[in-house]
């Protein structure tokens, strides 16, 4: 019989705040994390704004000797996982560390470091003066390595990569390793630091980013007829997943159960979603099946909903196929409108949002959407403008990534 998996700790470094309470407060209040880019001179770029992490000083978290060995994506991973561990109340020196794992995701890994080293080389005389920490700073799995080394966790340790579905994939893997009895506790989540010339320039070249440079705060507008692309975000979000009996025996506060997960592929296009949302539909259906639930059980859906013209429509088509054309119980809110698209960290941020919706009885809003797209399916309860209070027993989070990767996770009140 498979073991039950619960969430006992969470941590967040996001464009809306560098702690879980700050992130949640600003999200519920409908604030936007978007602003002009400060990390580099973006004056010549088509898109000159993003949802940056603000006021994060690595010196508040790490020794100087450590900072020079870490890409920002690792710094976000470490800071958010430290908060999650504190939040969980786990005494890391009083548990069996061979039964504690780390499964962490990033879509791009050390993007900042890679660009910096290549640019430094290009500006030089051709002599290869490469930082000796270059490779361990850029590889995607290094965040999981850092977390395990910091605490001596010797259980399953690896990284997942499935573009913007990455951290949902990590959460599903972590859930399954605990279910199978391979670990008692797993720190999971995702982090990303893509706001640099290569990241913004690359996504801009694909025409994936909004160019609403005169009004950044309102640029991310899922489901709106005037949406013109996503707003890039960054940060790191962490969850402590724990076997239920292990958590109960130590008297842990339990936020929610990780009830099930589903993964699928569009098998359609390198970057575009399937126009009818076939892969998204399968991911949601399989997540519900894995959780032993029906569509009628779900109170809240946090959709992928990046604010791209094609992606939003195809996902909502999939939602209507799974939940029906006029679901009475289901409420939907697209929180990338506030926090931007954190790429490989998006699923972890949205998992936290789903879990907080369950524990707090609050559904945060979709902000900025004032002119709903007539092409969107009718009859869906999208929370616009302001948060609502509602008892949430079951919540689902959707994430989809380039390459056609889909991952949906279901959380349940316990």
* Residues belonging to the active site: 164, 304, 341
CB-count burial class (<10 Å; 0-12, 13-18, 19+) for 292: exposed
Q: Torsion angle, CA of 339/294/356/157, rounded to 10 degrees?
A: -80
Residue in the structure block whose two tokens are 């890679």:
114
């Amino acid at each position: 019989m498979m073991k039950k998996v619960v969430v006992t700790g969470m941590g967040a470094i996001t464009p809306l705040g560098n702690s879980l309470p700050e992130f949640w407060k600003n999200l519920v209040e409908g604030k936007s994390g978007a602003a002009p880019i400060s990390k580099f001179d973006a004056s010549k770029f088509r898109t000159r704004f993003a949802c940056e992490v603000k006021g994060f000083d690595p010196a508040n978290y790490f020794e100087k000797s450590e900072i020079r060995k870490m890409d920002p994506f690792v710094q976000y991973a470490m800071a958010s996982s430290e908060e999650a561990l504190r939040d969980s109340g786990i005494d890391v020196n009083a548990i069996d560390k061979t039964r504690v794992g780390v499964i962490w995701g990033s879509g791009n890994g050390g993007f900042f470091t890679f660009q910096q080293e290549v640019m430094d080389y290009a500006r030089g005389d051709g002599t290869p003066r490469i930082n000796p920490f270059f490779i361990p700073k850029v590889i995607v799995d290094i965040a999981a390595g850092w977390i395990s080394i910091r605490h001596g966790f010797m259980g399953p340790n690896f990284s997942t990569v499935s573009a913007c579905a990455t951290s949902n994939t990590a959460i599903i893997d972590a859930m399954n390793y605990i279910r199978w009895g391979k670990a008692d506790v797993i720190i999971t989540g995702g982090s990303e630091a893509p706001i640099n010339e290569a990241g913004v320039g690359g996504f801009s070249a694909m025409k994936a980013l909004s160019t609403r440079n005169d009004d950044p705060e309102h640029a991310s507008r899922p489901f709106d007829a005037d949406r013109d692309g996503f707003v890039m975000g960054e940060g790191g979000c962490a969850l402590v997943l724990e076997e239920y009996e292990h958590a109960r025996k130590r008297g842990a506060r339990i936020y929610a159960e990780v009830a099930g997960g589903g993964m699928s592929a569009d098998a359609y296009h390198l970057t575009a979603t399937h126009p009818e949302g076939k892969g998204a539909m399968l991911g949601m259906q399989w997540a519900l099946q894995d959780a032993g639930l029906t569509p009628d059980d779900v109170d809240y859906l946090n959709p992928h909903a990046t604010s791209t013209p094609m992606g939003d429509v195809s996902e909502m088509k999939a939602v209507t196929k799974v939940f029906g054309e006029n679901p009475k119980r289901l409420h939907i809110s697209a929180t990338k409108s506030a926090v931007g698209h954190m790429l490989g960290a998006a699923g972890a941020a949205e998992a936290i949002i789903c879990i907080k919706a369950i524990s707090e009885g609050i559904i945060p809003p979709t902000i900025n959407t004032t002119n709903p797209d007539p092409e969107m399916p009718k009859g869906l309860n999208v929370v616009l403008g302001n948060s609502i209070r509602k008892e949430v027993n079951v919540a689902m989070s959707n994430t989809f990534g380039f390459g056609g990767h889909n991952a949906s996770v279901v959380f349940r009140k316990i």
